Amino acid sequence: AQSVAQPEDQVNVAEGNPLTVKCTYSVSGNPYLFWYVQYPNRGLQFLLKYITGDNLVKGSYGFEAEFNKSQTSFHLKKPSALVSDSALYFCAVREQTGANNLFFGTGTRLTVIP
């Protein structure tokens, strides 16, 4: 069975400070991992993905995420937060050889305080 946990419903960070949004996953095989962002009244937008290779993945809008196999984590990070980063963030996983659909976490609301 596949699952994703986002342990924090809400993350607050001051503008200009680094941010981290946590994600841990569970799959029976090797994972493909994704981060999506959702702005109010808009669809999910793809940020970045881990497929294979380098554990540090860089994505859109200055975001990056680090795949840690031993800790089964894929935390989203950004060195300097912007007010415009405030949104709902979803981590998702699929098995490399399993079902085609994505399994999503429950989301983390990021608020960047000016």
Q: Give yes or no for residue 100 binding other proteins (CB under 8 A).
A: yes
| Helix, strand, coil percent content, the chain, rounded in steps of 5 | 5, 55, 40
Q: What are the CA-CA distances from residue 14 to residues 77, 81, 89 (Å)?
A: 14, 7, 17
Nearer of residues 36 and 67 to other proteins, judged by Cβ: 36
Nearest approach, Cβ of 2 to other proteins (angstroms)?
Answer: 10
- Nearest CA to 28 out of 52, 68, 1 is that of 1
Nearer of residues 84 and 96 to other proteins, judged by Cβ: 96
Query: Which residues in the 23-62 window bind other proteins by CB under 8 A?
Result: 32, 34, 36, 41-46, 49, 51
Nearest approach, Cβ of 62 to other proteins (angstroms)?
Answer: 18
- Other beta carbons within 10 Å of 70: 5
Write out the residues near other proteins by the rule CB under 8 A: 4, 32, 34, 36, 41-46, 49, 51, 90, 92, 94, 96, 99-107
